Amino acid sequence: MVASSAPGKVYLFGEHAVVYGEPAVPCAIERRARVTVNERDDDALRVHAEDLTLDGFTVEYDGESETTPDVDVSQSLVEAAVGYIEGAVEQARDAADRPDAGFEITVESAIPLGAGLGSSAAVVVAGIDAATRELGVELTARDIADRAFRVEYEVQDGQASRADTFCSAVGGAVRVEGEDCRAIESVPNLPFVIGYDGGAGDTGELVAGVRALREEYDFAADTVETIGDIVRAGEAALADGDLAEIGRLMDFNHGLLSALGVSARSLDEMVWAARQSDALGAKLTGAGGGGCIVALDRTDGAETALKYTPGCETTFRAELDADGVRVEEP
């Protein structure tokens, strides 16, 4: 039996634009998904999932079954969640050259599903690591990131970037631009505050919406490129340790994402509540449509304001997590 965990993430800058080759800077946070894997004597797969903002569920199938758990969330999110786990298993079987390996898998996550905090990437990364180790194979963090990206790319119908999976695998703050993925070595203390509206966006649908807008309107394509410019300016601010400028650029980034139609009233209200409490900056994080915002605040102001904001279900601080995927005690 092997247990591995991997962190979720927030986007400091660059979500959506990263799909089109623009740079992005995601940051791993100390909220993790843990996957425990035990090899079976047959080729079946039995998955038990907890805490994915779902009621816990167990599903057993042989890879051809159409069985899905009966839980109170959108069917597309459930199908995606099962697809990520299946994909992680297939990558582990491939890496170990064990195409018929069966597993008992338990997924435990402190990362809300579909909320923009990289829950799927964390589950896939941790799942690949745990399952390959259970089969006697150890992969590097970069190998895991590459295999996890293939899973997300397939589940999201070719609309994923490498950002989430690379960040989850290596930890810390990273820069992703197309195929070029690297860690950012020197990062100031980033006082993240997360606000969560209790909802979830459909990543594939939101990414497809931006794609359609970008293809129809030149100004939408220009907006995507401008987000890339913000990321480049943000990298300079990170290098200088200029939190005030980082926050200002986060504000700009949120405005452009709103213009692309991926924000939501609940997200906007949380963003403005954080800004009005004197946070250095605030923006949605991830695909949007519902889920989470991230604010930069060295005081208790944003956290307090979000607690009293209608539509904000929960708020919490999230430290930067320097660790990527790692083995845990079973």
The residues that are catalytic are 164
Three-class SS of residue 142? helix
What is the SS3 assignment for 236-268?
HHHHHCCHHHHHHHHHHHHHHHHHCCCCCHHHH
Distance, in Å, from the CA atom of 180 to the CA atom of 177, rounded to the nearest integer, reads 5
Distance, in Å, from the CA atom of 242 to the CA atom of 227, rounded to the nearest integer, reads 19
Distance, in Å, from the CA atom of 211 to the CA atom of 221, rounded to the nearest integer, reads 9
Interhelix angle 218-240/243-259, nearest 10 degrees: 170
Closest-CA residue to 227 (of 251, 247, 207, 256): 256
Give whole-number Cα distances, 93 to 88, 98, 111, 131, 132, in Å.
Answer: 9, 5, 26, 8, 7
* Backbone φ, ψ for residue 159 (5° rounding): -115, 20
Three-class SS of residue 7? strand
Cβ neighbours around 127 below 10 Å, total:
32
